[in-house]
């Protein structure tokens, strides 16, 4: 009976160590995703809006989840049906590649400064692409 006790204690110790390791190891992250996209008056997205003044800067703010090294995010900004510019035209494109993995949600933003006078009044949209695939479109307007 006592000869089997060390063997039993060794098995219990191995089981306890295995359970402890499983509790400490992080779970495998899911696929990279973009969520909670919104236009805003600030880079933190604390002042979300879908209506801008002609003199405002534009921000698109979103949550990036499970970002992987070298994931590519693109923002394509469009004017829609603005006088003299045709029905829809892309007027700016921005690109960003992750330089390190992001295990948890991280707030990311793109912005366009208003440096050439007022924005034309009318509808606009920004499209967000993740690794070349369109993942979200956010509509907004200038009044």
**What CATH code is carried by the domain that includes residue 129?**
2.60.40.10
Residue 9 has pLDDT above 50, yes or no: no
Is 26 a member of any domain?
Answer: no
Quickly state the pLDDT bin for 84 (edges 50, 70, 90).
Answer: low
Whether 28 is covered by a domain: the verdict is no
91 is a domain residue: yes
How many domains, in total, are found in the chain? Answer: 1
pTM, two decimal places: 0.75
Of 81 and 24, the one with more pLDDT? 81
Residue 17: is it exposed, middle or buried by C-beta count within 10 angstroms (0-12/13-18/19+)? exposed
Domain assignment present for 21: no
Domain that holds residue 122: 33-142
In a domain, 5, yes or no: no
The torsion region of residue 13 among left (phi > 0), alpha (psi -120 to 50) and beta comes to alpha
Tell me the pLDDT tens digit for each residue of 20-29. Answer: 443 343 445 6
**Any domain includes 133:** yes
């Amino acid at each position: 009976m006592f000869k089997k006790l060390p063997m039993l204690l060794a098995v219990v110790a191995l089981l306890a160590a295995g359970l402890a390791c499983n509790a400490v190891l992080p779970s495998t992250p899911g696929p990279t995703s973009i969520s909670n996209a919104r236009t805003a008056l600030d880079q933190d997205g604390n002042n979300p809006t879908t209506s801008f003044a002609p003199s405002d800067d534009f921000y698109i703010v979103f949550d990036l989840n499970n970002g992987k090294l070298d994931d590519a995010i693109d923002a394509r900004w469009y004017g829609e049906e603005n006088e003299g510019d045709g029905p829809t035209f892309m007027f700016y494109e921005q690109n960003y590649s992750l330089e390190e993995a992001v295990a948890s949600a991280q707030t990311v933003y793109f912005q366009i400064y208003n440096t050439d006078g007022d924005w034309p009044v009318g509808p606009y949209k920004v499209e967000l692409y993740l690794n070349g695939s369109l993942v979200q479109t956010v509509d907004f307007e200038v009044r």
